[in-house]
Amino acid sequence: MPYIILIFGILATLYALYRFCLWANVEQIKFLFSVLGITLFALVLIFFALTGRFYISLGFIALSIPFVIGHYRRKQKEEKRLKQIEKQDDSEE
């Protein structure tokens, strides 16, 4: 019985993702997949930490550092670009 409920939940989730992706724009889909990836990564870290595989968790954390740095740099560039656009809009008015 638990497997049937699990399968039903997975199918419902996949259908909801399908319906979301039909109407969402590209930015929303990128954000969704980034949140799903981070959530999955966090769940894997918690699983390894709770099952006594702490060293694997440390390896995953070390592996994620370049991705975190890249995300931070990309956010800084985007914020700088938005500030420049705002300055241009203010100077035109």
Q: State the pLDDT at residue 93.
A: 62
Q: Please state whether 24 falls in left (phi above 0), alpha (psi between -120 and 50) or beta.
A: beta
CA atoms within 13 A on the CB side of 16: 7
- Looking at residue 21, its pLDDT comes to 87
Going from the first residue of the chain to its last (93 residues), give the mean pLDDT of each consecutive group of 10, the final group possibly shorter. Answer: 90 92 89 87 87 84 86 87 80 67
CA pair distance 20, 27, nearest whole angstrom: 12
Cα distances from 81 to residues 63, 74, 75, 77, in angstroms, run: 29, 11, 10, 6
Residue with tokens 């390896």: 59
